[in-house]
Every structure is written in structure tokens, then in C-alpha cells.
């Protein structure tokens, strides 16, 4: 059933969870803009994720939610809802259901509130069944079910978007210069960690892959992550004699996007940077160890044609005998084959300075 909304509506899209989840929400912004070309479209995201959406050409506004700071307590939550009320949105689309954000939309008095039947669904006016855990399609494709009442069609091939700004490129260039990073060899980025340890391939296997790859194709290797990932990165570096530049905690999200855009390939555990890489056109090999439908690659792999997934085939294993994770059974040979197949053997691009 279609909704009655103003011809030029003020639309709020909320997504307050992880980096990859927000990246897979970016196709929604484009689809809304195409359906409502004169609408005011805003995205509500975590403060720390602002560089993912600031500069997105399909958005008019980015609203930052500081869950760990100014919006941490009940009074901050009320002030935030008041801020939303003053913006007079006609509808809100909650792409990820949380008690706080559902409540904020309700307190703000937004007339049409669309979201999933989990976590304070009473605060919504239009409730969609929470069917994502079935894992039958991409997270991005699931989100378009929320837009059906608005008459927004799902694209045949949704694409993610990440803005690589001139400022981020300039910051990366300064970093490269001051740290004397070689530019006469291909760059390879490794992302060995993730926010959830059940999504991590062993860092020692990353190190073994680096040793093999460098023997055949000498390259510059980077390891990215947050400050909390430094222990994992250090384990990777100790497992190979090949130098690996530790960038954990040293890159903004914008700089990471600029780095990935200049690099030849990203080898990653199942985590956010893989989605940024695919959005900027960099080949990606993603290692998945979990098989459950709502956690596996069918729902969470990056969008795009330059993506290869390495995963354990459990189709022949009875459900009652399956393990929670199969990362320990994924070999370095499998990852090497995926990289070679994606890059066409030894084809690797050299690093040339690129603008935004």
C-alpha cells in the first residue's frame, strides 16, 4: 500500500550501526533522490562515521548522532529529539532498528515512521517484518523492501558510494611523503581484524600470504584497522619477514578511502573496509568464516563485479554438525587463488597520484 506524503517531502534515513552496514545503505540515498528529485534528504549516522556520507551527492544534510557523548543520557536523547522536531521531517526510514533511534523519531513527531518489527516497533507507524536474518539476499536488497510503500523501485544492480574528497587525498599524500612510502611498487592493503572476533581470519595466515605474494610480486603491504586492532596487526607483522606498514589507528575513514582507491587490491576479513574498497572501484577479496544465512556472504559481501569471496562450502554438512565458524578451514592457497583470479595472475597496477 502506497503512502500519502508531500510531493517534495523532507526525508530522514537513519543508520546507526557498523561501517559496512552504513555503506550498504548508500544505494537507498540514490534511489530516493531519483524518485523524489526535489526532496530534502538527510542521513542520520554515528558521529564517527560522518566521512562515509559527507559529500554524498544524493544527500542534502548529514545529522550526526553522538551516542558516546552529547546523546549518551536521557536528557541528551530528549535534546536530540527536539533537534529533529525542529527540522520538520515528513517521514523517517529506519534502516536499522534501535530503541534510541525509534524513540527519537517518535518524540520528534515525524508523521510517517518506517522500520523493522524489532526494538520498540510501537514507535513506528509502518512496521516491516524483520526478515533480514533469513539471509536470502543482500542487505542492500532487503532495505528496498522498506521503500516499497513509497513507490521506490529496487535497482537491478545496487551500487554503494563512498566520497573520496580532495582533503582526504591531500592528507594521504602528506602521510606517504613523511613516511617515505615507496610508490614504484603495487600497493596491497590487508584488513586482518574486525569488530567481531568471529569474523576474523588468522593474522598468521595473512602473514603467510604476504610472504608468498611478495616472493612472486614484490609489493608494498599495508595493514589497516582501529587502535584496538593493533595487537592483531602486530601478530600479522611478526608472522612474515616482509615489511608490513602498520596503519591501525592512523587513518581517518576518508584517508582509508583514498588509500584503497590508489591500491591494487584489498584482502580483508568480513568487515567494513571491504565495502569502502568496492565502492571506490578497488578489487576486493573477502574471507568469510560464518555460514549462518543472516551472517554469511549472501547478505554481507560487498557489492560490485570486482569482488571475490572465499568461504567454506558447507552445503554437504548436515545442519546439526555445522560449526559456528569455519575460518580455521580456509587456507592460504584458497586466498591466493582468489587474488590471482581477480587480478588476472600477475597484473597489478602501479600507484599514480589521483585526485578526488
| Model confidence pLDDT, tens digit, residues 117-131 | 999 999 999 999 999
Q: How many residues does the chain have?
A: 356
Which is more confidently placed, 218 or 318? 218
So what's the pLDDT on residue 354? 44
Query: What values do phi and psi take at 290, rounded to 5?
Result: -100, 145
So what's the pLDDT on residue 294? 87
For 40-49, the pLDDT digits (tens) are 999 999 999 9
Residue 347: pLDDT band with limits 50, 70, 90: very low
Pairing between strand 112-116 and 91-94?
A: parallel
Report whether pLDDT(353) > 50: no
What's the order of all strands across the beta sheet hosting 265-269?
244-246, 220-223, 187-191, 265-269, 284-287, 307-310
Which residue, 35, 41, 25, is CA-closest to 151?
35
So what's the pLDDT on residue 69? 87
Contact 298, 137 (CB under 8 A): yes
Contact 39, 11 (CB under 8 A): yes
Q: How many whole angstroms separate alpha carbon 19 and alpha carbon 273?
A: 8
Report whether pLDDT(248) > 80: yes
Q: How many whole angstroms separate alpha carbon 223 and alpha carbon 244?
A: 7
Q: Which of 23-32, 252-261, 283-292 has the lowest mean pLDDT?
A: 283-292
Q: How many whole angstroms separate alpha carbon 92 and alpha carbon 305?
A: 32
Report whether pLDDT(355) > 50: no
What's the whole-number mean pLDDT along residues 25-41?
A: 98
Query: What values do phi and psi take at 12, rounded to 5?
Result: -115, 130
Q: How many whole angstroms separate alpha carbon 108 and alpha carbon 123?
A: 11
Which residue, 244, 232, 149, 132, is CA-closest to 192?
232
The cell for 235 is 601478530
What's the whole-number mean pLDDT along residues 273-302?
A: 93
SS3 199: helix
Mean pLDDT of the chain: 92
So what's the pLDDT on residue 328? 86
Judge residue 194's burial from the number of C-beta atoms within 10 Å of its C-beta, 0-12 exposed, 13-18 middle, 19 or more buried. Answer: buried
Query: What values do phi and psi take at 257, rounded to 5?
Result: -60, -40
So what's the pLDDT on residue 356? 41
Which residues, 6+ apart, have CB-to-CB distance to 278 below 8 Å? 160, 284, 302, 303, 304, 306, 307
The cell for 183 is 610508490
Residue 259: pLDDT band with limits 50, 70, 90: very high
The cell for 30 is 540514490
So what's the pLDDT on residue 4? 81
So what's the pLDDT on residue 70? 86
So what's the pLDDT on residue 222? 98
So what's the pLDDT on residue 346? 44
So what's the pLDDT on residue 322? 74
Residue 181: pLDDT band with limits 50, 70, 90: very high
Report whether pLDDT(350) > 60: no
What's the whole-number mean pLDDT along residues 293-299?
A: 88
Which is more confidently placed, 68 or 82? 82
> Percent of the chain beyond pLDDT 90?
81
Report whether pLDDT(91) > 60: yes
Residue ranges of domains in the chain, CATH in brackets: 10-150 (3.40.50.2000), 166-343 (3.40.50.2000)
What's the whole-number mean pLDDT along residues 141-153?
A: 96
What's the whole-number mean pLDDT along residues 324-350?
A: 82
Between the alpha carbon of residue 212 and those of residues 182, 217, 219, 261, 347, the distances in Å are: 20, 9, 11, 24, 16
- Output DSSP code: residue 303: P
Q: How many whole angstroms separate alpha carbon 222 and alpha carbon 188?
A: 6
Amino acid at each position: 500500500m502506497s503512502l500519502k506524503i508531500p510531493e517534495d517531502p523532507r526525508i530522514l534515513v537513519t543508520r546507526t550501526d557498523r561501517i559496512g552496514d552504513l555503506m550498504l545503505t548508500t544505494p537507498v540515498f540514490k534511489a530516493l533522490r531519483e524518485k523524489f528529485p526535489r526532496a530534502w534528504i538527510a542521513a542520520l549516522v554515528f558521529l564517527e562515521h560522518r566521512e562515509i556520507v559527507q559529500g554524498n551527492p544524493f544527500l542534502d544534510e548529514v545529522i550526526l548522532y553522538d551516542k558516546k557523548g552529547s546523546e549518551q543520557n536521557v536528557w541528551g536523547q530528549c535534546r536530540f529529539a527536539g533537534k529533529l522536531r525542529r527540522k520538520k521531517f515528513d517521514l523517517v526510514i529506519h534502516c536499522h532498528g534501535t530503541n534510541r533511534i525509534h524513540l527519537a523519531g517518535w518524540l520528534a513527531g515525524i508523521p510517517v515512521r518506517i522500520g523493522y518489527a524489532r526494538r520498540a516497533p510501537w514507535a513506528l507507524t509502518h512496521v516491516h517484518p524483520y526478515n533480514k536474518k533469513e539471509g536470502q539476499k543482500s542487505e542492500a536488497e532487503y532495505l528496498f523492501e522498506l521503500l516499497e510503500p513509497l513507490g521506490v523501485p529496487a535497482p537491478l544492480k545496487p551500487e554503494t558510494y563512498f566520497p573520496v574528497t580532495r582533503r582526504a587525498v591531500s592528507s594521504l599524500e602528506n602521510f606517504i611523503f613523511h613516511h617515505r612510502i615507496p610508490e614504484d611498487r603495487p600497493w596491497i592493503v590487508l584488513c586482518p581484524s574486525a569488530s567481531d572476533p568471529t569474523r576474523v581470519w588468522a593474522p598468521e595466515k595473512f602473514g603467510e600470504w604476504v610472504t608468498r605474494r611478495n616472493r612472486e610480486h614484490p609489493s608494498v603491504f599495508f595493514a589497516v584497522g582501529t587502535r584496538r586492532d593493533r595487537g592483531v596487526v602486530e601478530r600479522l607483522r611478526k608472522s612474515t619477514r616482509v615489511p608490513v606498514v602498520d596503519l591501525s589507528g592512523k587513518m581517518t575513514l576518508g584517508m582509508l578511502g583514498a588509500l584503497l582507491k590508489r591500491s591494487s587490491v584489498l584482502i580483508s576479513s568480513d568487515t567494513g573496509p571491504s565495502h569502502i574498497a568496492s565502492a571506490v572501484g578497488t578489487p576486493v577479496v573477502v574471507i568469510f568464516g560464518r555460514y549462518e544465512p543472516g551472517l554469511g556472504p549472501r547478505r554481507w559481501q560487498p557489492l560490485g563485479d570486482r569482488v571475490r569471496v572465499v568461504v567454506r562450502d558447507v552445503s554437504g554438512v548436515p545442519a546439526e554438525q555445522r560449526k559456528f565458524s569455519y575460518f580455521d578451514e580456509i587456507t592460504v592457497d584458497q586466498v591466493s587463488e582468489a587474488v590471482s583470479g581477480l587480478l588476472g595472475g600477475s597484473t597489478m597496477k602501479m600507484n599514480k597520484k589521483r585526485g578526488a
